[in-house]
Amino acid sequence: MTDGDALTRAEDAEIARRGRRTGDSVVSPLADSEERVIESALRPKRLDDFVGQARVREQLSLLLRSALRRGRPPDHVLLSGPPGLGKTTIAMIIAAELGSPLRITSGPAIERSGDLAAVLSTLQEGEVVFIDEIHRLARPAEEMLYLAMEDFRVDIVVGKGPGATAIPLEIAPFTLVGATTRAGLLPAPLRDRFGFTAHLDFYLPGELGVIVRRSAGLLGVRIEDAGIDELATRSRGTPRIANRLLRRVRDYAEVRADGVVTRAITRTALELYEVDEMGLDRLDRAVLDALVRRFGGGPVGLSTLAVAVGEEAETVEVVAEPFLVRHGLLARTPRGRVATPAAWEHLGLTPPAAQDMPTLFD
């Protein structure tokens, strides 16, 4: 039996253990949980292992070291920025650096003040509470959070109507880490109660290359330097996307090649997954295509543009627009969204004459 036969048999045994083969596909009931395990494994566990965001890392390091020396929980932390840049990972790192337990919840999950009280009233001293999408907290919970963050106390209302009574409940000192993709939606009283705020920016290709190399090592992916560079330039400046594309390119290399991720394999795989040379995916190109071909380059309102591409307005604004604006393909103006000459050229079209182009400040 050759080495190739042994490898094939080992692969078939692994497939049989994890799922069942149906034709050319493998159906695994553990796929979702495995994806979660992979995501967790790829997250750095310490601040020194976190790549990129150098200024934020330095500021956080000072904050955490100072708190440890004083023996007190650090100030509350607010993290803002586009999705996928590491806000959840930083919250986990804060808890790990402090040696404290971490509670994870999200704004939409806290519908009533009682939901928040149930979380806060069982905290241990020094515990870290992470609230993702904190801008989506219900107003009653938000108002309760003001008092909890400032005085480490919540008021529990007993009864209804004129006979209702507020009973103050002391809670253990804790550190709140809030994450938001829409910092402008946070009310000023809540935003002002955070002692440290940080905005996470998109990553440089070199930083993403370091992340891809580390993730490839953890996943056991054989990848060439040229393949790393190609992935890094197509990952939209976002580590989450870089790790996701790495897994998809790995799948392509294992099924349709010899398992080694080269530049050529990366380009072919990403073409299959509709990711172009700038990193634009289906949604990005749909936004540009609608803006240019249907609306003549704009200006066009966000809601109209979202309907044209069949997505929610928030998805277009939060997921697609930051990257398109950053790369000079789209501009936000008082009258609506406008395609720049670079957007026309990226789609292989000739932009209108300068006098016919909408100005960015119309």
Q: Which residues are annotated as catalytic? A: 87-88, 132, 181, 240
Q: Nearest 10 degrees: CA dihedral of 294, 299, 303, 308?
A: 10
Inter-residue contact 171 to 154 (CB < 8 Å): yes
**CA 98 to mean position of chain CA atoms:** 23
Closest by CA position to 237, among listed 274, 183, 200, 285: 200
| 3-class secondary structure, 361 | coil
Inter-residue contact 319 to 326 (CB < 8 Å): no
Q: Where are the alpha helices (DSSP H) in 1-86?
A: 3-18, 31-42, 54-70
At position 145, the amino acid (one-letter code) is: L
**What span, in angstroms and rounded, lies between the C-alpha atoms of 100 and 270?**
41
Beta strands 102-106; 196-199: pairing state: unpaired
